[in-house]
């Protein structure tokens, strides 16, 4: 499920609630918890990983589009046969070149 870009997600809402809950407990006791920086670090890493996932999803979509275009050009129906059919095409081209040079 793609995440909205620049928008708030349910996960981000729960992250904010976790931070608010942590800071209110820290403030009421008058002590600064050492887990707050760890939580902040984990949340930042989580956001970075989510951004990377979105980037990879976009890259995957572009690669699938290219694969579909190549399959259409080669007349291939099965993606697993794409490399096989491409090799056949290159071998046929090499054979035609060899034949044309013989004349």
> Given its phi and psi angles, is residue 75 left (phi above 0), alpha (psi -120 to 50 degrees) or beta?
left
| 103 — pLDDT class (breaks 50, 70, 90) | confident
Contact 80/69 with Cβ under 8 angstroms?
Answer: no
Query: In this structure, what token pair is assigned to residue 92?
Result: 């046929």
Residues 68, 51: contact at Cβ < 8 Å?
A: no
Query: pLDDT tens-digit profile of 5-56?
Result: 444 555 656 665 555 555 544 445 545 567 899 999 999 999 999 999 999 9
Residue 6, classified by CB atoms within 10 Å of its CB into exposed (0-12), middle (13-18) or buried (19+), is exposed
| Residue extents of the structural domains in the chain | 10-75
Angle in degrees, 0-180, between the axes of helices 35-74 and 10-29, rounded to the nearest 10: 170
Q: Are 73 and 79 in contact (CB under 8 A)?
A: no
């Amino acid at each position: 499920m793609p995440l909205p870009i620049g928008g708030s997600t349910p996960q981000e809402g729960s992250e904010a609630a976790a931070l608010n809950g942590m800071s209110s407990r820290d403030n009421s006791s008058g002590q600064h918890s050492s887990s707050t920086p760890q939580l902040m670090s984990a949340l930042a890493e989580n956001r970075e990983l989510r951004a990377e996932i979105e980037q990879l999803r976009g890259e995957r979509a572009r690669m699938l589009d290219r694969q579909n275009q190549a399959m259409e050009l080669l007349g291939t129906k099965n993606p697993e046969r794409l490399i096989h059919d491409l090799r056949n095409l290159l071998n046929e081209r090499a054979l035609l070149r060899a034949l044309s040079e013989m004349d």
